Amino acid sequence: MRTSFKILALVSGIAVLYSCGRKLTETKPIRKDITETVFASGILVPENQYNLTAQNDGYLVKLNFIEGDTVKAGQVLAIIENKQNDFNALGARELLSIASTNISASAPALKQVAANITLAQLKLKEDALQAERYKKLYDDKSVSELEYENAELAMENSKANLAALQESYNLSKQQAEQQLITQKSQTDVNGVLRENNEIKSVIGGKVFQKQKQPGDYVKKGDVIAVIGDQNNIYAKLSIDETNISKIRVGQSVIIQLNTNKEKNYNGTVTEIYPAFDDQAQSFYCKVKFTDKLDFRISGTQLQGNVIIGVKKNALVIPRNYLGYGSKVNLKDKGQVIVQAGFISSDYAEIISGLDENTVITTE
């Protein structure tokens, strides 16, 4: 990365001298309007670009697209063969059918308890009548107190048995309902896993890159294709640490694609990414094109100059006249140290130490 500026007119009046066998050139500083820019490299990126990824492990048995296709949201683009998911989904559906049957009145377990309840109700009715008879007999002194109490005890036991059977019925039904809920959830999960064998586009767009072929074995998370909005492409610029503080949203940018460096495109900084990329060791900013872009291939490399300032009537000299430590050679007077401002590979701004009448030289 580098900070540069453009001179609106060429520096003129450079003379060639020879001194002690050395070839020297001389010139004078001039005043011109200069534009300071930050140079950055980057690539073309489609808006809403995302990776179409596998959600299951398995073999790709079908791809329903080629690079350059336009796809719609929800369209099935690839199919993965995963028999385990198929079997699990089938088994879950069968178990759900059984669980649904188990909560009906005709379920074997519930029918058995219901039959026992019916018998217990009949037994209780019989024991209640018997207890009533024994009470009358006891009142008439026809049976002993022990016989009467045994009849009462038999009736109470029948009541307790009926209550226990009713609780057992309720518990069995509750357990069957819980099993149904659990099995329905498991069926839904297995259904989703099976549906994940069909890989669908999340957002509609253009397929910019295909990364897998039919027959490839893929794992969950593997990228199968790259999809994005073909009608909305922006430039992603890489800015180094020394220049990121100079970048602002709204600044103008002049961009050249590496595929055609003879043509310039105008753009505007619309976003500065909030995180530093450790791998690339740079920051990123997003540039929207204000000119019509006639080349729309994702990943195309480019270079841009972000215009960060314009200075009127600046004093400048050719860059090769400025030495290390901001030293400049004056004709017949030797080296002096100047205060430099904007510096590019071609020109340097002089803030103090020289004027338009100063003659400077270099080898």
70 occurs within a structural domain: no
CA distances from 114 to 91, 103, 132, 157, 215 (A): 30, 13, 27, 18, 57
Do both 37 and 92 map to the same domain? Answer: no
Domain boundary residue, one of 195, 221, 252: 195
Whole-number pLDDT of residue 6: 46
Do both 124 and 183 map to the same domain? Answer: yes
Q: Residue 78 corresponds to which amino acid?
A: A
Spans in the chain with pLDDT lower than 50: 1-2, 5-14, 19
Do both 108 and 169 map to the same domain? Answer: yes
- H or E element, residue 186: helix 145-195
91 occurs within a structural domain: yes
Number of H helices, E strands in the chain: 3, 20
Tell if the pTM clears 0.85, that is, is over it. Answer: no
Do both 88 and 188 map to the same domain? Answer: yes
Domain of residue 113, residue span: 83-195
282 occurs within a structural domain: yes
344 occurs within a structural domain: no
Whole-number pLDDT of residue 56: 84
CATH of the domain at 248: 2.40.30.170
Do both 93 and 184 map to the same domain? Answer: yes
Do both 254 and 174 map to the same domain? Answer: no
Do both 104 and 189 map to the same domain? Answer: yes
351 occurs within a structural domain: no
Do both 119 and 30 map to the same domain? Answer: no
Domain boundary residue, one of 195, 214, 248: 195
208 occurs within a structural domain: no
Tokens for 17, please give them: 């001298």
* Cα atoms in the 13 Å half-sphere on the side-chain side of 334: 0
Number of domains comprising the chain = 2
Whole-number pLDDT of residue 14: 47
193 contacts 220 by C-beta, under 8 angstroms: no
Do both 113 and 187 map to the same domain? Answer: yes
- C-alpha 242, offset from chain centre: 29
Do both 100 and 178 map to the same domain? Answer: yes
Whole-number pLDDT of residue 9: 37
Do both 87 and 45 map to the same domain? Answer: no
Q: Angle 108-139/145-195 helices, nearest 10 degrees?
A: 170
Domain boundary residue, one of 313, 329, 346: 313
Do both 94 and 183 map to the same domain? Answer: yes
Whole-number pLDDT of residue 87: 66
CATH of the domain at 130: 1.20.58
What's the first-to-final CA gap in the chain, in angstroms? 28
Whole-number pLDDT of residue 8: 37
68 occurs within a structural domain: no
285 occurs within a structural domain: yes
